[in-house]
Amino acid sequence: MAKVFIYPATSLILSDMVERWGHSPLGAAVAVREHIQTPGLDSPPLQMTPDDPKRGLKYAAVEVPSGVRGRMSLFGPLIEEADAAIIVNDADLAFGCMGCARTNELVKYLIRKRGIPILDLVYPACDEDGVAFVAAIKAFLSDLPGGVP
C-alpha cells in the first residue's frame, strides 16, 4: 500500500479512487482532521492558529502571504510523506478546490521535485475524456506497490 498525495487535496473523488485501488490518500481531510481533533484549541473553523503559518516557513519565506504559509503547513508534511502523487490540473471547482493559486503553484512544484511516481492529468472536458481519465488513474494506482489490479 502506498501513500498517495492528491491534488486538488480537497477532492473526495480522488481520495475515494486512491482508497478503492488499495492505497492511502494524503489530502486536506487528513491534515484538517488532525487539527480539529487536537484537544485544547479553540480557533474555528479549521482550528488553525497563527502558529501554523509560522510552521509554513519551512516551505515558503516570510514575505510569502500568511494564507499560503498556513496552507503549506497543512500540505507540506503530506508531500514529504507521499510515496506517489496524482495531480489533476485545471479541475472544476466541484471536483476539488485548494483556494489559493499561489499555494497551488508551490504544492505542485514541491510534489514534482520529490522524484516520486506522479500521474499528471488534465481535468476531462467530455465523457470520452472522462473514461480515459478514470482508466489512467486506475492503471497508475494498480501499478503502485500493493495496488489492487
Binding site for other proteins (CB under 8 A): 42-46, 48-54, 63-71, 74, 93-94, 97-102
Q: Least CB distance from residue 3 to other proteins, whole Å?
A: 23
CA angle 23, 24, 25 (to 5 degrees): 115
Q: Least CB distance from residue 48 to other proteins, whole Å?
A: 4
Query: For other proteins, which is the closer residue by CB, 15 or 104?
Result: 104
State how far the Cα of 115 lies from the Cα of 82, in Å rounded to an integer. Answer: 11
Contact yes or no for 110/59 (Cβ under 8 A): yes
Q: 73 φ, ψ to 5°?
A: -65, -25
Q: Least CB distance from residue 116 to other proteins, whole Å?
A: 25
Q: How do 24-26 and 3-7 pair as beta strands?
A: parallel
Q: How many CB atoms lie within 10 A of CB 31?
A: 19
Q: Least CB distance from residue 92 to other proteins, whole Å?
A: 9
Query: For other proteins, which is the closer residue by CB, 84 or 98?
Result: 98
